[in-house]
């Protein structure tokens, strides 16, 4: 599975401003940025991003995924703090 394929799945399924995916073929890290995360609990944020990926996880195209979610404001702040 390619990083851009996961990015496309998430961008098509969710109203996100940005998605960044890195990984090595079956283990991936996802950074998802969108206003939809503003009012959600930490668990709901994770579930929201996992949902469109469940078929890929079920058929082992994705073995493991680490997810970080941000609102656009949180993402801007985090990037500045980390010098990105």
The highest-confidence range among 20-29, 43-52, 72-81, by mean pLDDT, is 43-52
DSSP three-state, residue 38: coil
* Cα atoms in the Cβ-side hemisphere of radius 13 Å centred on 24: 2
Give the pLDDT score at 26. 86
pLDDT in tens, 29-75: 999 999 999 999 999 999 999 999 999 999 999 999 999 999 999 99
pLDDT at 1: 86
pTM (predicted TM-score) = 0.91
The pLDDT score that the predictor gives to residue 83 is 67
Helix (H) or strand (E) holding 67: strand 64-70
Domains of the chain: 3-79 (3.30.300.90)
Cβ burial 47-71 (10 Å sphere, 16+ → b, else e): ebbeeebeebeeeeebeebebbbbb
Distance between CA 51 and CA 39 in Å, rounded? Answer: 18
pLDDT, position 79: 82
């Amino acid at each position: 599975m390619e990083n851009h394929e996961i990015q496309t799945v998430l961008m098509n399924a969710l109203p996100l401003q940005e998605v960044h995916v890195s990984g090595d073929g079956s283990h991936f890290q996802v950074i998802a940025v969108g206003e939809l995360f503003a009012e959600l609990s930490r668990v709901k944020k994770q579930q929201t991003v996992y949902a469109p990926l469940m078929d890929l996880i079920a058929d082992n195209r994705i073995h493991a995924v680490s997810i970080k979610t941000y609102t656009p404001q949180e993402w801007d702040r985090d990037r500045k703090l980390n010098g990105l």
